[in-house]
Chains A and B, each alone.
Chain A
Amino acid sequence: MTDRTYVLETRDVMIRFGGLTAVNNFNIAVPEGSIVGLIGPNGAGKTTCFNIITGFYKPTQGEVLLEGRPITGLPPHKVCAAGIARTFQNIRLFYNETVLQNVMIGGFVRQKSAWWMPPLLVPSCTREEAVLREKAMKLLESVGLADLANETSSSLPYGAQRRLEIVRALATEPKFLLLDEPAAGMNPQESQELMAFIKKIRTDFNITILLIEHDMKVVMGVCEHIWVLDYGVLIAEGNPEQIRSNPKVIEAYLGEEATQNA
């Protein structure tokens, strides 16, 4: 792993809400092209870490680097423009819009035309939008949602909404994708498909993926490297094998007794 470049690095990130230190000494380095995981019990601070990386929270201390350039404290839209996209724990689609419109909204961040161009029928803008629409349709085709392109996104079944949220994030053309509990609420069959889907988008779009997940089958199945967070502090890291047998991790999840009995 030493000769690979890191897409994302965090250095001694700490965030405090009033008297509560939610995350402390958060140091991770995500190698380019990998799928990595961040796990931990409920309330460990995983989503807080996501919010720091994506600019929704400004860390009290520390630095976040994207491909070696600091992005600490940038507002979310600039972080996204820099190349980090995310999904949300509870799906946040634009529910009044169609599936296609949702993906096109994702593509807006790469659009060059200004807002006053469409009413004035500027040809370059019309062309750009046609290209954007085509790209969005291709994205939808690649994940099997093309038939539903003109449906309102709220009418989609749950699994398709999850996929659409990921596709919308991909439309921003990210280098680094953060998935917040992508398998939440899925049955074993659906999470199997999701695992294949995550691996497929990694190779197809040539991106790096960091995911938060509670479903250990998914985490162990797709992640090459895993960080474990408990009470805002990283307690372990390693490949799935190491994490599975790490006593500290078992203790964090199941309590001390379980470790002694194991």
Chain B
Amino acid sequence: MKTNDKPRYLLPSLAAIAILALFLWWANENLDNYKLQILNLIAINSILALSLNLIYGFTGMFSLGHAGFMAIGAYVSSLLILPPIQKEMIYIIQPLIWPFSVMQAPFFIAVLAGGVAAALLGLIIAMPVLRLGGDYLGIATLGFAEIIRVVFTNLTPITNGALGLKGIPDYANIWWNYGWCLLTLFFMIRLVNSNFGNVLKAIRDDEVAARAMGINTFKYRVVSFSIGAFFAGIGGALMASLVTTIDPKMFGFLLTFNVLMIVVAGGLGSLTGSILGSAVITILLEWLRFVENPIDIGAFHLDGIPGMRMVIFSLLLIMIILFRREGIMGMRELSWDSVLRRFSRGGEAR
């Protein structure tokens, strides 16, 4: 695992980014909207998976509150990019209250604000909740996400209640999404490979020993949780602008579950695993739609069963847990060292 960026990593990194940019440019020109949507979802899911991996995979805090942070990010950013006229149109039950009705911000600022709001909330939640450990933490954060959802359903003057927000400007194109995704990845790589990252892993591995080594474990758990919440908010904000319609129902437990599935499948404690996991799972989720269509096998005719892909997906997840619990990457990382070695020798990478 590389621990600091030596200049020799700069060249392959820049090359990879250039190739990615070329690919995205090509995709943007040639692919249809459906495939572009999948590409966009991969980027957003990567952001979400990276943020949950920091909380769960690297710091060892089992958190199920991701949907709550995404909701905060989505609503805050949407309220900032919705034009005032549109706001007047969609708030039909109760008008939007004052500061929100006139507030406007460029997309980048709006997404950032969504992240900051989620991080602040994460900080407030973390103070009482992170005194718990293990499964209790999972249940407490799950409850918190549900509270957010219920509050958003009933806070009609701000969130438009169950009707949700419609016609959110679709600024989140492929460049924004992948830009934020790369930014998140860069942030995480630097953070996790610094000594602070080592400290987070130490808290995960043995909290008692970490405390004896002079580490204020509570403080750094709170910091890690808030950073995770920040990027979850970013992901939520981008998601809102991508799908252009949000309502509280969208941010239920299933959303958290999807992210958790990506993190576990990719490998807890592996950043590259999270990226791979989100690519594989996002594509698989779409590809598996064929099982819900009517199928003809020879003389047999099978009617499509809606929801069938989730059944297959659950089976796959059970398989992962049974046969490859550590996920695609385990705790290892795909680093330039291992990639270059594979290319130069054609042999086996470590």
In whole Å, how far is A69's beta carbon from the nearest beta carbon of chain B?
Answer: 17
- Assess whether A97 is in contact with B198, with CB atoms less than 8 Å apart: yes
In whole Å, how far is A26's beta carbon from the nearest beta carbon of chain B?
Answer: 20
- Assess whether B4 is in contact with A94, with CB atoms less than 8 Å apart: no
Question: Could you list some 7 contacts between A and B, CB below 8 A?
Answer: A77-B215, A88-B209, A94-B210, A96-B201, A107-B195, A111-B195, A118-B191
B196 contacts chain A at the CB level, 8 A cutoff: yes
Chain B residues with a Cβ closer than 8 Å to the other chain, count = 33
Q: Known: A94-B202, A94-B205, A121-B190. Contact between A108 and B195, CB under 8 A?
A: yes
A168 contacts chain B at the CB level, 8 A cutoff: yes
- Assess whether B202 is in contact with A76, with CB atoms less than 8 Å apart: no
In whole Å, how far is A250's beta carbon from the nearest beta carbon of chain B?
Answer: 34
A161 contacts chain B at the CB level, 8 A cutoff: no
B131 contacts chain A at the CB level, 8 A cutoff: no
- Assess whether A94 is in contact with B212, with CB atoms less than 8 Å apart: no
For A111, the chain B residues whose CB sits under 8 A away are 195
- Assess whether A108 is in contact with B213, with CB atoms less than 8 Å apart: yes
For A121, the chain B residues whose CB sits under 8 A away are 190
Q: Is the interface of B mostly helix, strand, loop or mixed?
A: helix
Q: Is the interface of A mostly helix, strand, loop or mixed?
A: helix
Q: Which of A98-106, A138-146, A215-223 contacts B (4 or more CB under 8 A)?
A: A98-106
Tell me, in angstroms, the Cα distance from A190 to B202 when the chains sit together: 28
For B331, the chain A residues whose CB sits under 8 A away are 96
A19 contacts chain B at the CB level, 8 A cutoff: no
Q: Which of B21-29, B31-39, B216-224, B293-301 contacts A (4 or more CB under 8 A)?
A: B216-224
- Across the interface, A118 reaches (CB within 8 A) one of B190, B209, B212, B214, namely B190
A162 contacts chain B at the CB level, 8 A cutoff: no
A17 contacts chain B at the CB level, 8 A cutoff: no
B211 contacts chain A at the CB level, 8 A cutoff: yes
Tell me, in angstroms, the Cα distance from A77 to B3 when the chains sit together: 25
In whole Å, how far is A207's beta carbon from the nearest beta carbon of chain B?
Answer: 15
- Assess whether A108 is in contact with B214, with CB atoms less than 8 Å apart: yes
A186 contacts chain B at the CB level, 8 A cutoff: no
B323-350 residues at the A interface, CB under 8 angstroms: 331
Could you mark each residue 1-14 of chain A with 1 if its beta carbon is under 8 Å from any beta carbon of chain B, else 0?
00000000000000
- Assess whether A109 is in contact with B213, with CB atoms less than 8 Å apart: yes
For A34, the chain B residues whose CB sits under 8 A away are none
- Assess whether B212 is in contact with A101, with CB atoms less than 8 Å apart: no
- Across the interface, B198 reaches (CB within 8 A) one of A76, A80, A101, namely A101
The interface centre, meaning the residue of B198, B204, B213 with most chain A CB atoms within 10 A of its CB, is B213
For B214, the chain A residues whose CB sits under 8 A away are 76-78, 80-81, 108-109, 172
Tell me, in angstroms, the Cα distance from A49 to B16 when the chains sit together: 56
In whole Å, how far is A154's beta carbon from the nearest beta carbon of chain B?
Answer: 10
In whole Å, how far is A211's beta carbon from the nearest beta carbon of chain B?
Answer: 16
- Across the interface, B196 reaches (CB within 8 A) one of A78, A81, A106, A115, namely A115
Q: Which of A125-133, A229-237, A253-261 contacts B (4 or more CB under 8 A)?
A: A125-133
- Assess whether A80 is in contact with B195, with CB atoms less than 8 Å apart: no
A151-207 residues at the B interface, CB under 8 angstroms: 168-169, 172
For B208, the chain A residues whose CB sits under 8 A away are 56, 88, 92
- Across the interface, B4 reaches (CB within 8 A) one of A54, A106, A130, namely A130
- Assess whether B211 is in contact with A105, with CB atoms less than 8 Å apart: no
Q: Known: A54-B212, A77-B215, A80-B214. Contact between A118 and B194, CB under 8 A?
A: yes
In whole Å, how far is B6's beta carbon from the nearest beta carbon of chain A?
Answer: 11
- Given contact pairs A56-B212, A77-B217, A108-B195, a sample of 12 additional A-B residue pairs in the complex whose CB atoms are under 8 Å apart: A75-B211, A93-B209, A94-B206, A94-B210, A101-B3, A106-B213, A107-B195, A108-B199, A108-B214, A115-B220, A118-B190, A118-B196
B269 contacts chain A at the CB level, 8 A cutoff: yes
In whole Å, how far is B133's beta carbon from the nearest beta carbon of chain A?
Answer: 16
Tell me, in angstroms, the Cα distance from A113 to B1 when the chains sit together: 22
- Assess whether A105 is in contact with B186, with CB atoms less than 8 Å apart: no
